[in-house]
A and B are shown apart, each in its own frame.
Chain A
């Protein structure tokens, strides 16, 4: 594994273009575009204020930079560097900004979620969508980019509007049977829309593209409900993670639960492998403590770690959440399917240092990774069944069915990996620390 040099970034704004050729980073009010292979600066743009959100258009030709404080959005073109575009929302303010799937419209959500303004770069036309709902995930575009689902709230009732992204024609507008809609997500085949309620009620609704209610699933009443939802890439499964520390898998034919994955504090399943991260401090002899060594050899102060396989039954460290706080840190907060649909990675909030990997073919637990610090971020390789995770220290961890490995980021000074994501080809990882970004080139072969 090779590591590139370190570049500055601010606000964790660092994105790879959808075609995989460029890397864009924001440093305060500047937008830096680099070539992904050579990491040379290709373009440099200056915005009017500190950039809060940056996004590539789907055809990798434009980048939008949103500055929420000033209510401005600036769009830059890669083909014509001197082309400029500035969208000013006026006194109404700006809360979020995103591209439409065709890369020619920008959707701005104004402050207080008063409305969504759709700006067209082709015609300078403006459209408004009223009463958008301010919730966890109120807008979702279908995978093929044809439809957009928007959650609305009028007169204390939830509605869902389906728009055709071509011309923003309102295709369907129907009332949702939720009490307080928390989020919606299209299935990867764009035919089913999953809509779930807030955590006060466990309810997940499945609507067909034309607005018919296909099914309603509710596992239990009264206790806190759904925390996270994920579709499998083939649209076969819908994984629902809830506050009762379980993940329930629904199947796409009957929309009924086929299994539930529990996250017990004691693992007794004999087929699962428990990897425990063990830190080993290097022994420093007195003659090594020369100034030269200290400055150059970073590994002196960073600890090496490796994974050990723990014997079953194994205990998973549990942190009891504060019962008096809202949104308690308990339950399945993150779910991610691997790209080949075979694995599911979950994180239970009251076991923050552990990551659970489930085999979807056998519908059973495959591995548990126990880290020394709470897991901050984990992402699947978009091509292979390989999982990368970070815990906020200087290491990057990789898991694959062959085993797992922990790699120290060999950067001068310490590079605390706060988040990471894969390049779309699966050949490199982009690691983000608080102020810096670094690329990690991963080989395609299996690791152990």
Chain B
């Protein structure tokens, strides 16, 4: 449609709102009822809006208006109204036809608009409906999704439960099987035992029957040629309450002694372990002592001081500990101090480790180089040693395998024999020397023996004199002057007794034995008696003892 050809004049402000809204209401009212109203209003329109249209055409611009209307009509496709008539005025017939066609157009347009409006309404209602249903379905979907996930979750948990229950079932089955096997083994054991008992019972019954029927009852008896003496040779004792008490006493004594030995061994073990712990503690303190720890950085100082103070403390404690060996507190003290030291040692070690790792990064090149040098040197040494061993092996092989030519073999043999000869010579020399020593000693022995014989004789004489004087002294003549006992210059410078006479019986061998004690040093103190002789003289060992018993 063409634009409104708005004349210069503005719409009359006297038009009330209702009419304006009715004009504008044409394009906006959605309902059909409104459209009727709008139609009516449009029909009504000409009357009231006549003032607007009258503004369009006036007596002056009729031809313009006609031309314009022709134009518009042509554009609309209607038969053009040539409003130009002979009279020069408008033909009412044509105008009426035109008007009729325009009205038809208008009606058609109205109808179309009406339809479109209804369609529009329908569509909007449909849209609304669809939107609602969409929302609803979305909600439903969400709801079902949630339900679904919930069901899944439930299913998963049930699966887990099933698995655990299956495991439980398996373990229970296994246990049942085990118990069944135990029961069956016990049952077979019981059956076996009960069968055995039943067999014994039947045997008993048979025997009882036999005994009841058998009149001859063999009595139990013992036949012995003669009584046997008791194993310990003592006589038998009557059973009295004193005997019983004695038995009880012996039993308790045996138990007590066993407990005592056990306690003793435990105490020994305990003290040894304590000693070991003490040593360990000392060692640990020594390790953590200042001269070892000076390499440490700052944080170690406090532990250092602690260690020193601990050491001082421990010195005091140690003395106390030695006094209260079995005291509970001393034991706890010891174990606590050991633990403390051990912890310190551990932390020390950890610090050292970290230090080493730090240092290694710093002096990496240096230490590695040294390391490498060291390794190289060791490898070289290893190589040399290997070569040496190899060479030795080769030589040994050569030696073992028969020598290729006789000359070298003979030479080698010669060498060996020479070596052997040298060795033998040496040994012979030693042997001759030893033989000479032995001869010398033997000579010494014989001389000493002769001397001893002389001394013995002298001693015997002395003893006889002494005995005589002793005997004489036994008489009441007290103030008789006792002859001075000549100092027996024999080997036995000890007090004699009457039975000492028997000492003369041991033969020469004794003397040689007593001297053999001093055989190794050349300057043998011959005068000193051997301990055996001394003991014999003092009757600390009986005469019948072996002569060859050296002290």
Could you tell me which A residues sit within 8 Å of B by CB distance? 58-59, 62, 71, 77, 82-93, 102-104, 111-112, 117, 119, 121-124, 126, 146-147, 164, 166-167, 169, 171, 189-191, 199-200, 208-210, 222-224, 252-253, 323-328
Contacts and interface: CB of A to CB of B under 8 A. Distances in A.
Nearest to A75: B224
Given A88-B222, A112-B204, A121-B224, A324 B188 contact: yes
Main SS at interface, chain A: loop
B243 A104 contact: no
Nearest to A121: B228
Interface stretch (B11-19, B245-253, B347-355, B462-470): B245-253
B461 interface: no
A224 B247 contact: no
B211 interface: yes
Contacts of B200: 112
B224 A124 contact: yes
Among B192, B203, B226, chain A packs the most CB atoms within 10 A around the CB of B226
Interface string B179-200: 1011011101111110000001
Given A111-B207, A323-B181, A326-B189, A164 B220 contact: no
B243 A169 contact: yes
Given A59-B231, A88-B218, A124-B227, A112 B185 contact: no
A208 B228 contact: no
Contacts of A199: 189
A100 B46 CA distance: 157
By Cβ-Cβ distance, the 8 closest A-B pairs, closest first, are A326-B192, A90-B220, A191-B258, A90-B218, A121-B228, A85-B224, A86-B223, A102-B231
B396 interface: no
Interface of B: 179, 181-182, 184-186, 188-193, 200, 203-204, 207, 211, 214, 217-232, 236-237, 239, 243-244, 247-248, 250-252, 254-255, 258, 262, 266
Contact of A119 (B204, B222, B230): B222
Given A111-B207, A191-B258, A327 B192 contact: yes
A252 B243 CA distance: 31
B188 A325 contact: yes
Contacts of B237: 167
11 contacts: A83-B226, A119-B222, A122-B228, A122-B230, A124-B227, A209-B251, A252-B262, A253-B262, A325-B188, A326-B191, A327-B189
Nearest to B250: A146
A209 B255 contact: yes
Nearest to B211: A91
B232 to A, nearest CB: 7
Given A121-B228, A169-B243, A191-B255, 11 more contacts: A62-B228, A77-B228, A85-B225, A86-B223, A86-B224, A102-B230, A122-B230, A169-B247, A191-B254, A326-B188, A326-B189
A167 B214 CA distance: 36
Contacts of B252: 210
A92 B221 CA distance: 12
Contacts of B192: 326-327
B239 A169 contact: yes
